[in-house]
Every structure is written in C-alpha cells, then in structure tokens.
Amino acid sequence: MARREIEGAWVKGWPDRKRPALVEGKDAQGRVILGKTPVMELEGLITPTDLTYIVAQLEMPDPVSPDEWSLSVEGQVERPLTINLEELQKLPGRTVRAVTECAGNDSEFFDYLKSGGAKPSRSNVGDASFTSAASTIGYVSAGEFTGVPLASVLEEAGTTSKAKSVRLEGFDRGRPDPSIQYLAAGRSDFEVRDPGVINYDKGLPMEKALHPDTILAWAHNGEYLQHVHGAPVRLIVPGWSGNWWVKWIQKIEVLDHIPPCYYQTEYFVYANAPTDPHKEMVTALGVKSIVTTPRDEDSPLLRGSHVVRGLAWSGRGAITGVEVSVDGGQTWREAHLEESHDKWLWVRWSYLWAVTAPGQYKIMARATDAAGRKQPQTGWNFQRKHFDGIVPVEVVVE
C-alpha cells in the first residue's frame, strides 16, 4: 500500500516515511486560503499544525505583529477596555484539546447517501476527488489550544444584565462571494444577500461565551498561532463548528441581542430551501465516526484477521461508545475505545474482525455520545452542513 512506503535517507534515527501533506488552495496573490487535512494518513489524536485544515471565507488579511495587536471590549459592559497580548497573558490560562470541524466538512456524503453514485473518497493517495477544489472532505482536525477563558476577559470588563451575546470581530475584510454558498447548496437559482464589504464576525450566545473551555487562544500545539490560523489571537469554541472559531480577533462587543451576522443568519444555517423562512443557526456538531482502516481502496482483503479502526467525536462532549457492523448494518458489535482524558477531542476506536468467508462486505461504524445521541443527528439541509451520517466502507474478501 502506498501509505506504507518509506522514502529518502535516514532522518534522526528513523527512515523518513512518506510524509502526508496539506492539500492547499491559494488565492490570486498566491496566499493559502484553503487547506485540507489528510486525516486518513495520520496517527494519534493531535493533527500536526502544518497539516491542520485552513478556511478563510473573506480575504486573507495581512499579518498583524503581536506587539502592535490589541483587543477592545465594549458594548454591554461596565468598564470598556483595551487589552494587549502581554496583558491577556497575565490572566489565568487554560489549555483545551479539541476537534475543529468546518460545518461543510464531508458535505458530498449527504448526496451520496441520498442518491448514490460514485462514492467520494476520503483518501488523498492519488485520489482526484479528494484533491479537487469542489470537494469538502478533509476540513477537520484536532489540536491543543492555549489561551485564557473568554469569560475571564468579560469579567474584567463586567458584563451588564442585558448581555445576550458576544460579537467577535476579525480584522479580515472582504465581500462574501455568493458562489461559495452556491457551491455548498449545489444550486445557484436563489438570491444571496450581499452585505457589501464586511469584517468576519459572529455573535456567540452568552451561555457558550461563558463556558470555561471557550478560550481566546494565542498558541496551537505548543507554539504561537500561525497567521493562517488566526494569529495573534483567535477564539476556540469546543464542540461548535469551525465557523464559530473566529480568527484574527480585534474587537469584542457585548450585545443585548443575537446579531444578524452574515455568517450566522445567511450562511451556516439549517433550512430545507433558500426560501425557507425558518433558518436555524448551526451550533454544536452532531455525533460522528469515520472508518480510517480499511478503505475501499484496500480491497481485496485476504481472509483472516483485520483491524477495523477509526475516529469518533461529538459536539456535545465525550464519545461513550462506537459500534461496528461488517454486514451493512444488520448486526452491530461494540468497538474498543481508547481511554480519553479530553471530552472535546476525538477518540480512536478499533474492532478486530476475523473474516473466514470470501465475499463482499459493508463495514460501518456508529458513535454514541455522553448526551445519549446516536449517529446520525443531522438530516439533509440545503447548504449540506454538519454531515454526520454513516458511510459504509465496501471491501471484497478473497
């Protein structure tokens, strides 16, 4: 199998394995604005920083030096304030390990499960569908983030009793491109509201804003944040989809209402159709598992013992169980879960499969979380957000 190849010379005591790479998309200036994580190629729980997925909705801003950066806190507060990085770092810190998943990750599987056709591949081993710009597979990673709770900064400013949401604004500016929504919806026969040139912003409901694991982070995987990931400071909202994790933060505004931000009321909403008057903002991720071994591409397998392995995560905390089926969902067995110390992180699971009869097999996995939710949670919606369906792996055993 290609992924077992060893190439090159000896590096620091070990032969240098073929290294997985981020699949990058660039803007006209050559700046990386999209990056897809080769999840199937990775081991362990933490996605290396250089392999962490990237999404910039507007234009990639110019970097701001940490020495020149400051954050203003205003609105429904007793003491409006401006805080710089050094001051932020004097507050009691917090480190959180969490999965971050773009709301649009895996969206093409909605269509695959609904209407069949060629199965999108999660694998980037020479697979054109993974590397194509239209494909949304690979917009998920997990990392360790270090910063301070947003609640601590809000406490410094003292929120008033009217506070309903915290609007976080990035310093990236641009005019939302309607073609991104048309691509997400797979149709372009509707009107997308043009908000003009805006800063990326989100209005986080107070309860999630005050959660101690919702942090303003300056570090990622043990190093200062990279520019593409929102340096000097970004928001981490464990459990909620990537679009809440506001990057390049410059301003915090406490509001007495939930603001109609473009990326909150127009895009990143659940609805049956663009004309649906009931649009619900996307918040917590569903409950989800993916099979990383074997892959369709590994077929045919020989009779004998094979490990079925994968990852599972939830937007509402810990994964409590993963079940595996090798007969297309007729019977299910409990998989082994690795003990986890981080409820917001994904867990690795495995199931040892002894197969004695040749034939065609459909391998499936489904996860359950601490909130009692079983996969899948999210139904088809026109922007195809938060896919958490069960995608079978199909192999032939000889």
Ligand X SMILES: Nc1nc2c(c(=O)[nH]1)N[C@H]1C(S)=C(S)[C@@H](COP(=O)(O)O)O[C@H]1N2
Among positions 40, 55, 254, 312, the unique one binding ligand X when judged by CB under 6 A: 55
How crowded is residue 182: how many other Cβ atoms within 10 Å of its Cβ? 15
Give residues 306-335 in contact with ligand X (rule: CB under 6 A): none
Options 154-162, 245-253, 336-344, 365-373: segment touching ligand X (CB under 6 A): 245-253
DSSP string, 46-98: SPPGGGS-EE-SSPPPPP--TTT-EEEEEESBSS-EEEEHHHHTTSPPEEEEE
For residue 249, the minimal CB distance to ligand X (Å) is 7
Which one among 130, 248, 361, 387 touches ligand X, defined by CB under 6 A?
A: 248
> Interaction with Mo ion in 241-270: which residues (CB under 5 A)?
242-243
Binding partner at 170 among ligand X, Mo ion, none, C-beta below 5 to 8 Å by kind: ligand X
Residue from 97, 247, 366, 384 binding ligand X (CB under 6 A) = 247
User: Which positions from 101 through 120 interact with ligand X, judged by CB under 6 A?
Assistant: 102
Least Cα distance to 350 among 393, 289, 396, 288 occurs for 289
Distant-in-sequence, close-in-space partners of 153: CB < 8 Å, separation ≥ 6: 71, 73, 83, 88, 91, 216, 252
Positions 364 through 393 that interact with ligand X (CB under 6 A): none
Closest approach, Cβ 57 to Mo ion, in A, equals 7
> Taking the mean position of all CA atoms in its chain, how far away is CA 66?
26
Candidate residues 58, 184, 287, 290; the one interacting with ligand X per rule CB under 6 A: 58
- Of the pair 100, 314, the CB lying nearest ligand X is at 100
Among 54-62, 89-97, 282-290, 383-391, the segment contacting ligand X (CB under 6 A): 54-62
| Binding segment (CB under 6 A) for ligand X, from list 1-9, 85-93, 190-198, 243-251 | 243-251
The residue whose Cβ lies closest to Mo ion is 102
As a dihedral over the C-alpha atoms of residue 254, residue 241, residue 126, residue 375, rounded to 10 degrees, the angle is 180
Residues of span 154-213 touching ligand X by CB under 6 A: 170, 172, 200
Phi, psi for 368 (deg, rounded to 5)? -125, 145
- Residue 229 touches which of ligand X, Mo ion, none (Cβ within 5-8 Å per kind): ligand X
| 333-338, Cβ contacts within 8 angstroms, sequence gap of 24 or more | 335/308, 335/365, 337/312
Nearer to ligand X, 163 or 246 (CB): 246
- For 338-363, give the DSSP string: ---S-TTS-EEEEEEEEE-S-EEEEE
Stretch that binds ligand X, among 55-63, 78-86, 111-119, 275-283 (CB under 6 A): 55-63
Partner in contact with 37, chosen from ligand X, Mo ion, none, beta carbon below 5 to 8 Å by kind: none
Nearest of 150, 151, 146, 148 to residue 91 by alpha carbon: 148
Instruction: Kindly state whether residue 53 participates in binding ligand X, applying the rule CB under 6 A.
Output: yes
Q: Which residues, other chains included, contact 362 with Cβ-Cβ below 8 Å and sequence gap of 6+?
A: 325, 326, 327, 328, 329, 392, 393, 394
Near ligand X by CB under 6 A: residue from 245, 270, 344, 353: 245
Structure tokens at 25: 């998309």
State which of residues 33, 40, 54, 55 lies at the interface with Mo ion (CB under 5 A).
55
**Rounded to the nearest whole angstrom, what is the least distance from the CB of residue 107 to Mo ion in the complex?**
11
| CA pair distance 334, 313, nearest whole angstrom | 16
Query: What is the DSSP pairing of strand 249-255 with strand 70-75?
Result: parallel
What sections of the chain are H helices per DSSP?
85-88, 108-115, 128-131, 150-157, 178-185, 206-209
CB burial of residue 101 (10 Å; 0-12, 13-18, 19+): buried
Per CB under 6 A, contacts with ligand X among 73-92 are: none
CB of 230 to ligand X, least distance (A): 6
| Among ligand X, Mo ion, none, residue 246 binds (CB under 5-8 Å by kind) | ligand X
Quick one: which of 90, 101, 79, 99 has its CA closest to 318? 99
Q: Which stretch binds ligand X (CB under 6 A): 49-57, 206-214, 279-287, 374-382?
A: 49-57
Which residue ranges make up the site for Mo ion (CB under 5 A)?
Answer: 55, 102, 242-243
Which residue ranges make up the site for ligand X (CB under 6 A)?
Answer: 52-58, 100, 102, 170, 172, 200, 229-230, 242-243, 245-248
